[in-house]
Chain A
Amino acid sequence: MKPRVAMFAFTCCEGCGLAVIECENELLDVLNLIDLVEWREGLSEKAEEYDIALVEGSISTHADEKKIKEIREKAKVLVAIGACATTGGLNALKNRYGMHEVKQMVYGKAGEQFDTIPARPLRAVVPVDLELHGCPIDRTEFLRVVRDVALGKTPKLPDYPLCVECKKKENVCVFFRGMTCMGPVVRAGCGAICPTFGDGCEGCRGLVSNPNENAHKETLAEHGLTVTEVLQHFDMFNSYTEDHLA
């Protein structure tokens, strides 16, 4: 029997779901391997039961927290997809402020009616079986994971810096073009898409397991960044820490 797969979204732009919809040429093959049973962005149906939950978004309200725990109860396998779900992503930038202050900043007086708590990646709330990184996720990587799950294989995702992919493509190093990049400490897997199209990596896939952060702070400083700018580079997608919850 094909595994029943449900997709859910919490605090995010649902762009990762869109990346799945954009697998246009492969969607029929995907549907041969899995049964999609619930997916707000792509289906009208809802399901009470499923085997695999693909979840995008970070947990940033009490309602999110309750719902992800329910999903965890039901799903045999929980996959976090996209930066918001894997690192807390951009959402975690708000965590440095007080929640009252955040609501005021965005909505003014009307803000008080909203329920908001510090944004967390899924693994900070429930156990997660697999994390698919990126903002948004990489389609090819998504399809590879679907295939591996169907084959009963544990997907192998890269845990080496982005520089590997830039070198294999023979991209001119972003630093040698007078710009800065997070590539040397950030997880590969996107095919170095931003450097390939002329931009520096901003770190949406999160840091590798053992990043040499000190070396990178020195490199960024050597290329003219101030301490504040260096920290901003690290914070954009990767500012979440457990201290935010205190």
Chain B
Amino acid sequence: MALQVIGCEAVTQLLEKLMAEGRVVAPHQREGNKQWVFEDVKDPCDVCLDYTSTILPPKKYAFPPKEKLLHYELADRPKMEAVIEAEPLVIFGAHPCDIYGLNALDKALCDQKVDPNWVARRAQIRIVGVDCEPDEYCFCGSMGTASVSTGYDLFLTPLNGDYVVEVATPAGEAMMEGIPAREASAEEIAAVKKRLETKLRQERKINCDVNSLPLHFSGFEKSPVWAEVAEKCYSCGTCNLTCPTCFCFDVLDEMDLSLHSGNREREWDGCMLEEFAQVGSGENFREEREDRLKHRFFRKYSYLFTKYGEPYCCGCGRCVRQCLVHIDPVDTINRLLAHSGKEA
């Protein structure tokens, strides 16, 4: 599709138009050192499109930290009703890595058993992507996630104070209706390509081809590197909870105090947490930090990679950015490779 160019004022106009139609969420800056969050747009002036990474990925809108699955009422004839709380929503300003994360979860949550809550929300979400400049934690260059070709309706690439807009879907076309835009010149199109090339030149990278990771991991099972890295791990689950491709949850029955009615709820869980693999008898299948850390890495770069054909890591760097003890997937993978003598 032809690329268009819009100015900053047109971005504001676009936001205002979308806000008039319904709920719009976008990155906003928070107090603290380089901290942003996706939240509801109240004033387009508060939106910050020039951001590095939000604390939580926009995944939280399709798969909230906590949600109702079922409401029940106890009586002679108990009543039960599945609950899906979904509404039309525009996620404005999602980075390619986060869009990749949503695409990856489309596969994982619709495989064999379709997750109805995920699907109902995803169907009502429109996405306006925006290109970014990687910081010292990003490693999308290594994961092949610096750009995406699907999963958005519009995609904005900043260029000399303007934005080059790719309209990717009919919904995107409708968004752009009435927004002043001109066709992109050949130079501008070339500049967008060049921007991606620059973005791929990241200092931090894994020392092997991303597609060879599952193969390499088959030899990492007994590596001493796991214990070394795990020694400083808190098992606090921060890496799980901030990850765009993690989707584990726990299901709890929450009966009201009246004991007449209640809700079945699901809540984010994380495989790094000590109780995650504990079963009813008290047995814990991954009691040690090392086992849990290793499991998480195998999920990201081996098990799900093999199952779905792509890494379940989008290289966003949230896990290391938010980790107080600086456990870094790039460094860990490179140490594993170096130790096994498989460094490329």
Contact = CB atoms under 8 A, between A and B. Distances in A.
Interface of A: 26, 29-30, 32-33, 143, 146-147, 150-151, 159-161, 163-164, 167-173, 175-178, 183-185, 208-210, 212, 214-216, 218-219
Contacts of B182: none
Contacts of A178: 32-33
B322 A173 contact: yes
B45 interface: no
Contact of B235 (A146, A171, A177, A212): A212
Interface residues of B, number: 35
Contacts of A32: 258
Nearest to B35: A172
B325 A161 contact: no
Interface in B40-87: 55-56, 60, 65-66
Given A212-B289, A218-B325, A177 B31 contact: yes
Contacts of A147: 255, 257, 259
B234 A212 contact: yes
Given A167-B242, A175-B324, A184 B259 contact: no
Contacts of A185: 234
A160 B274 contact: yes
Interface string B198-223: 00000000000000000000000000
B270 A164 contact: yes
B32 A177 contact: yes
Interface of B: 30-33, 35, 37, 55-56, 60, 65-66, 231-238, 241-242, 255, 257-259, 267-268, 270, 273-275, 289, 322, 324-325
Nearest to B325: A215
A207 B85 CA distance: 36
A165 B119 CA distance: 26
Nearest to A146: B257
Contact of A164 (B33, B241, B259): B241
Contacts, number: 96
A205 to B, nearest CB: 14
A93 B236 CA distance: 27
A224 B289 CA distance: 27
18 contacts: A29-B257, A29-B258, A33-B257, A147-B259, A151-B255, A159-B275, A160-B236, A167-B55, A170-B60, A172-B31, A172-B32, A176-B35, A184-B324, A185-B234, A208-B274, A216-B234, A218-B232, A218-B325
Contacts of B241: 164, 167-168
Contact of A163 (B33, B66, B238, B274): B238
A161 B324 contact: no
A218 B232 CA distance: 9
Contacts of B236: 160-161, 163-164, 183-184
Contacts of A159: 274-275
A146 B259 CA distance: 11
A185 B325 CA distance: 13
Contacts of B33: 176-178
Contacts of B55: 167, 170-172
Nearest to B255: A147
Contacts of B37: 170
Nearest to B239: A167
A200 to B, nearest CB: 13
B324 A219 contact: yes
Contacts of B235: 160-161, 210, 212
Given A170-B56, A176-B32, A215-B234, A33 B275 contact: no
Nearest to B241: A167
B258 A167 contact: no
A31 B150 CA distance: 56
A170 B25 CA distance: 15
Contacts of A33: 257, 259
From A161, A176, A210, name the one whose CB has the most chain B CB atoms within 10 angstroms: A176
Given A164-B273, A214-B232, A218-B232, 7 more contacts: A33-B259, A151-B259, A164-B237, A169-B65, A177-B32, A177-B33, A185-B234
Contact of A161 (B66, B234, B258): B234
B160 to A, nearest CB: 32
A150 B259 CA distance: 9
Contacts of B231: 215
